[in-house]
Structure 1
Amino acid sequence: MLPFQLLLLGAALSPAHAITVYGVQGVLQGAPTAGVTASATITSDTAAGTAVNDPGNYTGDAAFNPVILAAPPIPSPAPPTQFTVQLPNNAQNQPGLSIQQDGSFLGFSIEMSVVTQVIGINSTFLQVPFLNLMALVAERGGSVHIRVGGNTQETATVVPSLPDGKMIEKDKGDSTNPTQTPALLLTPELMYMMNNVSALINVKWYLGIPFNDTSNLRLQIAEYGEAILGDNILGFQLGNEPDLYVNHDHRPPGWNETNYFEEFGLVINAIGQDSNIPVKNTLIAPSVSGTWSPEDVWDTGFIPAYQNSLGALAVEHYPDDNCAAAFPDAGFGAPKDPQTVFPEYLNHNAGKDIVGAYIDSTNIAQQYGKPFLMFETNTASCGGFPGISDSFGSALWGIDYALQMAYANFTGALMHVGGVDDSYNPFTAPPTNMSQFEQWTIGPIFYANLVVAEALGTSGTSQVLDLNMNEGNIYTPGYGIWENGQLARLVLINFMTDPTGANSYTTTIQVGGVDGEANATPASVRVKMLAAESVAVKENITWAGQTLGNRFAADGRLSGDEEIQTITCDQTQNTCQVTVPAPGVAVVFLTDEAFAESEPSTTQTFATTALTKTMNTATVPASVLATSNGNSGADRDSLTSTSKGSSGAGRAAVGAPGIASLIALLAGMYVFASAVRR
């Protein structure tokens, strides 16, 4: 049997950079690319505190917008730049630590309607940059958790097949819905594709079950998900932001938390009677977004009533929205000015203010023995803010926010990924009309996933503490991480931008020497830096000296020589000094074991030499892509569960994998659907 082919919509050509950019970076000087009508003039001073870009009348794809904002000025008074942090070596001597956390803590939420752009066309056509990116995170944190769902899951229906072998097809969007979410048809090929990703990389999945019509339930996503994904499925979200159903015309006026409680019970009863859903206790809920608080739902008796069906409790939260700009005719009022909003993301209170509202719920979740998830989040809803959501500042915000959630006993968080209409994407494929000469664009916020994965490691025993260092200054936060009961790593953040270096800060670290502990500062520490010229820049970002490339230049692999600082400590004085640039993040590894665990010994990569052609493709043996769940092409005439104690008897037939769609694509006939806005 010939090996399956993993194909990429990408290219080997790097984008050109010019002073005057037509449409987006990556387009050569001259006539704009078809469909792009704007131009923007860019100057070179990105760190001096003044705006460096006039976006003019930019009307291109938001994911590639040229907007660069001004970095906020140094606060007045400026924070101290010399201070000491003294910490016990033993976790038992440090009160206030979080529960034990996994390196997979920070994952991704991918809008269901854009999976063909992001993950793959079908089970035999996987997007290679996506595989490379997931491998980077998995090898640092042990695994990657991904949710496929969002607004589009609510209108999703599984059908046996679609014309031309398509895996997903969108119906016209509901014009009355503020997010213009399309109805979605999908085939079981979606789950086969997801499972083939898991055969290559340690990726685990969440899926969404439609909840838009509880009088006509559609549980096929759960049926197929259980049968095809088996142990690779983590759970099923039932109801995405139900507190917004009335606003989105999914429920009549007056529909409330009690109605939600009652309808949730109807679905649980239906699942209980569905022999094709053998696992009954993996539902994720209530996934409220802030119009209702989680306490509004808990007060209905939700958790005790349904605890045997719940795999995890969850919420969704965006700290702000850009809806007025994204949907100017939807009654959201005047658009917000990103330059004015930018400073709100660049301090420690940004994450603390979000997380503080959920402390009671994380405590309740522990009382019931349930994980508590931030199931969907990012910088701002309705696609994010150009210049904020795709800036280096978003990476700093994402790291601080994620570690604040871990400290507050969330058990996971998922950064949302939309389509080309969104500025906040951790990664974006090039538009179809550019796929033969451009590669992927990696959003700065993706670096947050790398840093958090390395900071928490692969042991599953990491406990997090907000250090409240530098007298609690909000521009210089830090976290301590104890692993297997011992202080293992520090994460030090500097939100300020100062090209002179005057506001870089130096932390004097002391380990032990308190509460009867002996001095325990090591002879040396190793440090990795996340660095860029300014919080406002979108490119030239490095993690330990390596980069994923600039816009339209990424294949999902880190490039450049790795740079790891080794800092000699003074064990006589029990001190070790680490300097954090303005802006930047330092991850300090205090033990050889902590460093070895987070530093990948080998990097799994997938070749990216293919365009939309059949030549020079990356290949993987069919025995690997067939997966461990019995999902070879020869066996797809019926569903067979991999869950303990169940069988595939009586399940609906499944057609052969989407070979027709592959042929159509290779003939140049496949056109990506437009992305849904979030």
Structure 2
Amino acid sequence: MRVTNLDPMVFASLLLNFLLFIDQVNASVTVQYQLQKQQQMSASIAATASVATYTGEAAYNPKVLIAPPAPDPATTNVQINLAPTVQQAGLSIPLKNPFFGFSIEMSVSAQVYGKNSSFINVPFLNLMANVVERAGEVHIRCGGNTQESAAMVDSNPNGGMISKDYSSVTGTTNTPPIDYTVELIYLLSNISSLVNVKWFLGIPFNDTNFRMQIAQEGSRILGDNLIGMQAGNEPDFYTRFGRRPEGYDVNAYKGEVGQVIEILQDPQYEKVRNKIITPSVASEWNLQDVWDSGLIQENANSIAYISVERYPANNCAAVFGTNGNVINPQDVIGDYLAHSKVRDLVSFYASSTLFAQTQSKPFIMFETNTASCGGFPGISNAFSASLWALDYGLQMAYTNFSEALLHVGGQSVVYNPFTAPPTNVSSFHQWTVGPIYYSVLVMAETIGSSGSARVADLFANDNNDQTPAYVIHEGDSPARVALFNYAEDTTGGHDYTATISVPGTIDSVKVKRLTSKTVTQLNGIYWANQTFGVNFASDGRPMGDLVVDIVTCTPSTATAPDGSTITSSTCLVTVPAPGFALVFLTQSALDESDNAHPTETFATTAYTKAHNTLTVDPSVLATSNGQDATVRKYLGSTSFGTAGGAVGVRVPGVAVYAVSMALGVGMVLRRLV
């Protein structure tokens, strides 16, 4: 049930009762300033913060790198010759959306999802709704390093949904044990009641006293919205992190997975006993040894996904002072603007994805991003990451991955697809949307909603590193073409024209472009002319008018060796430097990608400075629920540094409400189940 479009007097009465109600449970009202002021704040940070002396939250690091020089001579024309499906070499397995999902560190749940099941972050709902619009659903993992030692408790001393013990941190990333209440599972369920989100959870594996409450309550509360239970996170690192003794190996892990599967035979786990995700290894164990162990084959009835985790590089030495070389981001930016690096990264798994097919299991990259330990400033939060992640995703699709989850941390990382504001006193448009979030939307449109998309790397332009291209087939024909241009050139001298030869006769194609002025730009990213703005500037809804270009094609005929007539069409599509173009070869291909599912966003305003509004003096509220530095230091991701999250208050009762308020603007009151 939803309460919307209320009569003003009825709304005022409901609002008054609601405010009295939340006052009784110490809930909070958020004051939010105008977008213009927040944009000025963001611009001021970028203009005045010295990179050498910047000491703010990593998520807003203003460091701007120097782009690699553009290739000389410039590529100005790329020939793309498409063929019917029966002639196209290397097509992937059929792919379903969503391909890209999110791995959200369990410890930052209160920051990202909402304080509790009664207060859900509206920008988060909108960000997920954007993906659902294109992919039909979103897959989110609530887990990470912090799931391993997580314990469900009846309550926390501070009354919060999550509590952390910073005196007992472990591992390279100083991960604290966390205590959480069942309120977290109710929060996830309420999110799924509003947007079509499916969840992955994790069984703690920090020792062999497996705490199964998360499986029990997850199954009971989430039902079919719980699609997988991870059995251990990066078990190949357990010895290094002190979670297992020396000598712990694949066979030891296999035995522990067997113990969990045995526990799951209890009737109370009936709904999750066949949803195991394993082995989730990173880099310490040889994958072939894992497959040869029989882990998958002997437990096939219990396993839903075969999983791995991988980051192409790490920034741990710089962030945590580990024994390793400190990497200067400027030295490696070229690695994120070269197709060969992406291909090398993914080809490592080619034999493993083939193994997964023999077992009839989807192969999933369960956690990844630009670099572990939070990413590289100037790369992970720049347009370079948008192009890289999209190329990475398409290369995984081509190599027969079924899905990949991009990791999300807190304030202390730079690679977040989206970041909640560091305090509750911010603008109305208050979140920061990172470059990789754009990749998620573009990837969803590239794969489409048919469930039968097949992807091939075209090795275009003599396999040129700067101009990779992919074709996506639907049924018997090519449906979409993905074109990249990694070159950096603000003059337009390295823009290229793709001459696309398409089988059959077509009058025109539709084109959407992912653009930014430079590969190193931190803001100003646009997908089909829509953007989520600068830091602290988004409520999760795209801003700007959608622009889809129409390119006229020229038909032609030729005579085949057997004397038959071959008909084709030539379409000229411009790809900016830097940029990406998605070419829809048919109207149905566009329809499957653009607004393929009903759109539902969650407006935080009903009217602007009109009626149904509440005005509160900001000076009164500035200290009512904000955090000072002693609190804010706990807002980062525990997966990648000392971190924490805002605490929530559970509101009892059957009816659960979320309300979002803004200074001088309207409100929307919704009832969650």
Scaled by the length of structure 1, what TM-score is found? 0.83
Q: CA deviation at 1:233?
A: 1.0
Distance change >3 Å, CA 189–CA 273, structure 1 → 2: same
How far is the alpha carbon of 1:177 from its aligned partner?
2.1
Distance in 2 (alpha carbons) for counterparts of 1:55 and 1:438: 26
Indicate the residue corresponding to 2:108 in structure 1. Answer: 114
Give the CA deviation at 1:281: 1.0
The alignment status of 1:344 with 2:335, answered yes or no, reads: yes
How far, CA to CA, are the matches of 2:43 and 2:551 in structure 1?
A: 44
Q: Check whether the contact 1:159–1:187 (CA below 8 A) recurs between aligned residues.
A: yes
- Helix, strand or coil for the counterpart of 2:333? helix
**Cα displacement (A) at 1:490:** 0.6
Q: Secondary structure at the match of 1:575?
A: strand
Instruction: Quickly say closer, same or farther: Cα 1:191–1:568, change in 2 above 3 A.
Output: same
544-553 or 247-256, which moves further after superposition?
Answer: 247-256
Aligned identity (percent) is 49
> Which residue number in structure 1 is paired with residue 599 of structure 2?
603
Match of 2:215 among 218, 222, 238: 222
Letter in 2 for 1:270: I
Structure 2: distance between partners of 1:568 and 1:226: 52
The amino acid across from 2:510 in the alignment is R
Tell me, which stretches of 5 or more residues in structure 2 are unaligned?
Answer: 4-17, 558-568, 607-611, 615-621, 641-673
Q: Which residue of 1 aligns with 2:262?
A: 269
Whole-angstrom CA distance in 2 between matches of 1:257 and 1:484: 41
Question: Is the alpha carbon distance of 1:9 and 1:411 closer, same or farther for their aligned partners in structure 2, counting shifts above 3 Å?
Answer: farther
Residue 14 (structure 1) aligns with: 35
Contact 2:155 2:181 in 1 (8 A): yes
Q: Is 1:282 matched with 2:275?
A: yes
In the TM superposition, what are the counterparts of 1:62-101 in structure 2 within 5 Å?
A: 62-75=58-71, 77-78=72-73, 80-88=75-83, 90-101=84-95
Cα distance in 1 for partners of 2:469, 2:181 equals 46
Query: Closer, same or farther in 2 for the Cα pair 1:484/1:8, shift >3 Å?
Result: farther
* Pair 1:260-2:253 in alignment: yes
Deviation at 1:323, TM superposition (A): 0.3
C-alpha displacement of 1:170 = 1.2
Separation in 2, partners of 1:339, 1:8:
43
Is 2:370 aligned against 1:370? Answer: no
Give 5+ residue unaligned stretches, structure 1.
19-24, 30-38, 43-52, 513-519, 618-664
Contact 2:134 2:594 (8 Å CA) reproduced: yes
Give the letter aligned to residue 415 of structure 2.
Y
Matched letter for residue 106 of structure 1: F
Q: Find out whether 1:58 has 2:54 as its counterpart.
A: yes
CA distance change for structure 1 residues 521 and 474 in 2, over 3 Å: closer, same or farther? farther
CA distance in structure 2 between the aligned counterparts of 1:349 and 1:173, rounded to whole angstroms: 44
Q: Does 1:146 align with 2:140?
A: yes
Counterpart selection for 1:237 from 230, 234, 237 = 230
TM superposition shift of 1:270: 1.6
Match of 1:504 in 2: 495
Write out aligned runs for 1:324-339 (5 A).
324-328=317-321, 331-339=322-330
More helix by share: 2
1:334 CA drift (Å):
3.7
| Counterpart position of 2:625 | 668
Aligned counterpart, 2:666: none
Structure 1 residues 195 and 176: CA distance shift in structure 2, 3 A: closer
SS of the counterpart of 1:373? Answer: strand
| Alignment partners' CA distance in 1, 2:495 and 2:225 | 44
Given that 2:315 and 2:371 are in contact with CA atoms closer than 8 Å, whether structure 1 keeps it comes out as yes
Q: 2:513 aligns with which of 529, 549, 555?
A: 529
Please say if residues 103 and 453 of structure 1, whose CA atoms lie closer than 8 Å, have aligned partners that are also in contact. Answer: yes
Q: Quote how far apart the aligned CAs of 1:362 are.
A: 0.4
Q: Does the 8 A contact of 1:109 with 1:417 survive in 2?
A: yes
- In structure 2, the residue matched to 1:168 is 162
1:98 touches 1:406 (CA, 8 Å); kept in 2?
Answer: yes
Which residue of the partner structure matches residue 129 of structure 2?
135
Are the counterparts in 1 of residues 42 and 534 from structure 2 also a CA contact under 8 Å?
Answer: no
Q: Whole-Å Cα distance in 2 between the matches of residues 529 and 359 of structure 1?
A: 30
Q: Distance in 1 between matches of 2:68 and 2:28?
A: 42
Deviation sequence 1:463-483 (CA, Å, 0-9, x none): 101011111101100110011
- Kept in 2, the 8 Å contact 1:83–1:508? The answer is yes
**The residue matched to 1:476 in structure 2 has which SS?**
coil
Alignment of 1:128-527 (within 5 A): 128-172=122-166, 174-214=168-208, 216-273=209-266, 275-328=268-321, 331-432=322-423, 434-435=425-426, 439-512=430-503, 520-527=504-511
AA aligned to 2:536 is: F
Alpha-carbon separation, structure 2, partners of 1:133 and 1:10: 21
Offset of residue 113 of structure 1? 0.5
Q: What's the CA shift string for 1:629-658, capped at 9, x where partnerless?
A: xxxxxxxxxxxxxxxxxxxxxxxxxxxxxx
TM-score by length of 2: 0.83
State whether residues 169 and 185 of structure 1, in contact with CA within 8 Å, keep that contact through their aligned partners in structure 2.
yes
Q: Is the 8 A contact 1:8 1:608 kept in 2?
A: no
Distance change in 2, residues 1:10/1:571 (3 Å): farther
Quote the residue 1:634 is aligned against. none
Residues 521/59 of structure 1: CA separation in 2 closer, same or farther (3 Å cut): farther
Shift of residue 164, structure 1, vs aligned partner: 4.9
The one of 552, 556, 561 aligned to 2:540: 556
Report the alpha carbon displacement of residue 409 of structure 1 after superposing the two structures with TM. 0.5
SS in 1 for 2:166: strand
Partner of 1:335, secondary structure, is: coil
Opposite residue 562 of structure 1, the aligned amino acid is L
Q: What is the CA distance between 1:600 and its match in structure 2? A: 1.4
The alignment partner of 2:494 has SS state of coil
Residue 554 (structure 2) aligns with: 570
User: 1:377 Cα deviation (Å)?
Assistant: 0.1
SS of structure 1 residue aligned to 2:378: coil
Give the counterpart letter for 2:225 in structure 1: N
CA contact (8 A) 1:7 1:125 kept: no
Size of the aligned set, in residue pairs, is 591
**In the alignment, which residue of structure 2 is the partner of 1:655?**
none
Distance 1:2 1:106 in 2: 30
Deviation at 1:510, TM superposition (A): 0.8
* Mapped partners of 2:113, 2:131: distance in 1: 15
Q: Using a 3 Å threshold, how does the CA distance of structure 1 residues 194 and 433 change in structure 2: closer, same or farther?
A: closer
CA distance in 1, matches of 2:533, 2:131: 16
| Contact 2:509/2:583, CA 8 A, preserved across alignment | yes
Aligned CA distance change for structure 1 residues 526 and 409 (closer, same or farther; 3 Å)? same
What residue number does 2:660 align with? none
Assess, with a 3 A threshold, how the Cα gap between structure 1 residues 27 and 82 changes in structure 2: closer, same or farther: closer
**CA RMSD of the aligned region, Å?**
2.6
- Check the 8 A contact 1:7/1:128 in 2, yes or no: no
- CA 1:195/1:402 → structure 2, altered by over 3 Å: closer, same or farther? same
Measured in 2, the distance between the counterparts of 1:2 and 1:488 equals 39
Give distance in 1, aligned partners of 2:125 and 2:73. 43
* SS class of match (2:356): helix
Q: Which secondary structure does the structure 2 equivalent of 1:339 belong to?
A: helix
Q: CA–CA distance in 1 between the matches of 2:52 and 2:91? A: 49
